[in-house]
Structure 1
C-alpha cells in the first residue's frame, strides 16, 4: 500500500485539475531534503507528470512544477530523466526566451541545475521558432544565442519585467566546462560577428548581483583552458580580456608610477573609492584565470609588460590572512618573476588547474 505522501505523488497525474493543484501545493515542501525520495515512487513516474505540468498554462501550476523539478536535480537520476528528454529541454529553453513568461527565473534555475549533465550540450543543436515580437529582439534562432541575448539585454528587466535572467550566469559557467561550451564562448558568432565572452565581461564588476559576477568569473576561467586562444582573447581589441580580470581584484591602493602606466589603460589612475571584489572566493577565481594565462611564455611576457605583478602584490598585501589567496598570489609571482632567459621559446609551462567545480557545480534549490 502506498503511503500518504506516495498517494499525493500519484495525484499529480489526476484528470481533475483541482486534485493536481492540491497535490502540488503539498509536494513543493517535500522537494528538498530527505523527503525527496518520495518522488522516486513507481519508477519516478512523478518526473514525467511534473514535466507535463510545467508545460501547462496556469502560472501557479507551472511555477510549482518547475520549482519541484529544480529541487529534485540533487538526484542524478531525476536530472538524467529531465535533461535526456530533448523535447522538454527545448521547451524549457523556448519558454525562457518567451518574454511574457512569469516563471522565467525559475526556469533559468532548472536549466542551470540540468547543466551538471553532459547531455546539456544538446542546447547548441536547438533552433527555435520566433514570434514576430521575438524576432525584433533575437537576430538568431539558435537557442544558445538567444539565451546570451536574454542575459545581456535583460539584466535590467527591460526584456521581461518578470525576469532578471541572472541564473543564466551559472548555466554559462557550467556549460563552459564542456569543450563545446568553451568553443562557443571564444568563437565569433556569425549572426552578430561578436565573440560571446566579450558580452559577459562587463558583469565582472556588477556589485549588485553576486550571481552574475560569480557565474561570469567562472565562465571566463573555464574559457581559458584552451591556451592556443589566449593571444586572441587578450590582443583582440573587441575582446580585451585582461582588464576585466584585473579590475575586480584591483583596489584603491597607490601603485608606483613606473608600474602604474604599464597597467592596461582601464586600470591607470583608478579613483580612491575603487571597490575590490568583496568575495574572496571570486578573487581566487580571477587569480586562477591569471594563472591559466601564464600557461605559455608569450602570455607570461604579456602579463609582465602589463604590470600584472604589481597588482598581484597589492592583492597579497590586503589578503595576507587568507591562505587560498596567498597561495595563488605566490604561484603567480613565481610564474611572472621567473628567469626565462635560457628556456626554449616554445616551451609550454604546465599549469596545474582544473575546470571550476565549486560554486558552478552546486545545485540551486528554490525555497
Structure 2
C-alpha cells in the first residue's frame, strides 16, 4: 500500500486547485530530503510537475522549485531535458515579460543545459517573438537578448535572468555553441559574446560568475583567438583584466604600457570579491596565450605586473596556482619555431543549479 507521503505526491494531480496547492507546498522540502518519492510509477510525479508549471502562479512556483531540485538526478534530468514539448513551453514562458516565475525557469534551464542534447537549441526556433525583446525566432538569440535586456528587472519586473549566464557557460562546452557566440547574427549584426562580455562587471555574483565561465569556455576555441583579441571585434582583454586588477600603484613604465582602461585607476578600485571568478579570468588569459600573437600582446600591454600583484594580494591557492601558470608562459623565452600549445583537460561540468566553479586538473586549464 502507498505510504502517506506517496499519497500526498498523488494529490499534486488533484482536479481541485486548492488541494493541489496544499499538496505541492508541503512537498517542496521533500524534493531535496527524499527525492525518490517523485520517481515512482515511471516518473509519473515528474510528468505531473511538468504540467503544473502552467498552473496558478503559486502552484507553478512550487512545481518549478521541485523540478530544479529533482533535475540534479540524472534520470529526472534526462526525462525533463528530452521532453521537446515541455522545452517549447518553458522557452515561451521565460520570454513572456509578465511571467512571474521567470527566474525559476532560468534556474531550471541552467540545470537542463547540463544535458548534452540541449545543444540542439542552436537550431531551435520559436514562433513566439515578444516585440519588446527585439530578437529573431532563434531560441538561443532570444535567451541572450533576454539576459541583456532583462538585467535588473528592466524587461520583466519579476526577474533579472542572472541564471541564464550558467546556461551559456554550460552550452559553451560544445564546439558548435562556441562558434555561435563568435558569429555575427543576421538580425542585429552583433556577436553574441559582445552582448554578454559587459557583465564581467555587475553587482550580481551569479551573473559575473556565469559570464566569466562562458567566456572561458568559448576561449577553448583556439582558432578564434584573433577575434577575441582584435580591438575591432571582441576586444576581450579589458573585460577580463579590469575585474582582476586592484587600486595598487604600478611604476610609470608598467602603467604606460597597460590598456587605456586600466591606467590611472583610483586607489579605491577593488578586485572582484569572488576568488573563483578571479581564477576563471586568469585561466582565460592563459588560454589566450596559446598563440604567439596572444603571448606577445599580453607582454606588450603589461599583463605580467597585474598577474604579479594578483598573486601577491589574493590569498587563495587556486588563484595563485593559476597566476603561476600564466607567469611561466609570459616570462619564458620564445624559440623562433616554437610549437603552439594549449592547456586543456577533460571536460568538467558545474554542479546542478549551483555555482559554475572552475576546476583544476593536474595543472591544466579545464572547461567549466
Aligning the two structures, in what range does the TM-score lie when normalised by the shorter sequence? over 0.9
* Equivalent residues of 2:175, 2:221 under 8 A apart: no
Is contact 1:109–1:167 with CA below 8 Å preserved after alignment? yes
CA contact (8 A) 1:95 1:104 kept: yes
TM (normalized to structure 1)? Answer: 0.93
What's the secondary structure of 1:215's corresponding residue?
Answer: helix
Q: 1:233 aligns with which of 181, 203, 228?
A: 228
TM-superposed deviation, 1:356: 5.4
Give, in whole Å, the separation in 2 of the partners of 1:236 and 1:265: 12
The separation in 2 between residues aligned to 1:215 and 1:305, in whole angstroms, is 29
8 A Cα contact 2:227 2:233, kept in partner: no
Give the alignment partner of residue 74 of structure 1, picking from 72, 86, 102. 72
Deviation at 1:86, TM superposition (A): 0.9
1:257, 1:231 → 2: CA distance?
29
Whether contact under 8 Å (1:24, 1:61) holds in the other structure is: yes
| Mapped partners of 1:229, 1:356: distance in 2 | 21
Given that residues 148 and 196 in structure 2 are in contact (C-alpha distance below 8 angstroms), is that contact kept between their aligned partners in structure 1? Answer: yes
CA distance in 2, matches of 1:90, 1:13: 22
Matches within 5 A, 1:257-276: 257-276=252-271
Distance 1:241 1:110, change over 3 A: same
Separation in structure 2 between the aligned mates of residue 184 and residue 87 of structure 1, nearest angstrom: 24
Distance in structure 2 (CA, Å) of the matches to 1:180 and 1:352: 18
In 2: Cα distance, 1:104 partner to 1:270 partner: 38
By how many angstroms is 1:322 displaced? 2.4
Shift of 1:139: 2.9
Output the CA distance in 2 between the equivalents of 1:140 and 1:352: 35
For the aligned residues, what is the CA RMSD? 1.6
Task: Give the 3 Å change call, closer, same or farther, for CA 122–192 of structure 1 in structure 2.
Answer: same
Please give the per-residue CA displacement for 1:240-271, whole angstroms capped at 9, x wherever unaligned.
10111100000001112112121111111111
CA distance in 2, matches of 1:189, 1:355: 28
How far the C-alpha of 1:61 sits from its partner, in A, is: 1.5
Equivalence for 2:172: 176
Residues 275 and 24 of structure 1: CA distance in aligned 2, closer, same or farther (over 3 Å): same
CA distance in 2, matches of 1:14, 1:364: 32
SS at match of 2:28: helix
SS of the residue corresponding to residue 241 of structure 2 reads: helix
1:326 matches 2:320: yes
**Partner of 2:302 in structure 1?**
307
Runs (4 or more) in structure 1 with deviation over 3 Å come to 352-357
* Cα deviation, residue 350, structure 1: 3.2
Q: How does 1:37-186 map to 2 (within 5 A)?
A: 37-56=36-55, 58-130=56-128, 134-186=130-182
Which residue in the other structure is 1:9 paired with?
Answer: 9
Contact 2:71 2:352 in 1 (8 A): no
Q: 1:273 to 1:90 in 2, by over 3 A?
A: same
Unaligned runs of 5+ in 1: none
The CA deviation at 1:277 is 0.9
Q: Does 1:361 align with 2:351?
A: yes
What's the CA shift for 1:186?
1.7
Equivalent in the alignment of 1:344 = 337
Aligned residue number for residue 28 of structure 2: 28
In structure 2, how many angstroms separate the alpha carbons of the residues matched to 1:222 and 1:355?
A: 10
| CA drift at 1:364 | 4.0
Q: Is the 8 A contact 1:90 1:123 kept in 2?
A: no
User: Given the alignment, which residue of 266, 269, 278 partners 2:273?
Assistant: 278
1:157–1:163 CA contact under 8 A, matched in 2: yes
User: How far, CA to CA, are the matches of 2:258 and 2:22 in structure 1?
Assistant: 61
How many Å separate the matches in 2 of 1:355 and 1:239?
A: 25
Tell me by how many angstroms 1:124 deviates: 2.2
Residues 163-189 of structure 1 show CA distances to partners (whole Å, capped at 9, x for unaligned) of 111111111111111222212212211
Cα distance in 1 for residues equivalent to 2:351 and 2:180: 20
Unaligned runs of 5+ in 2: 356-368
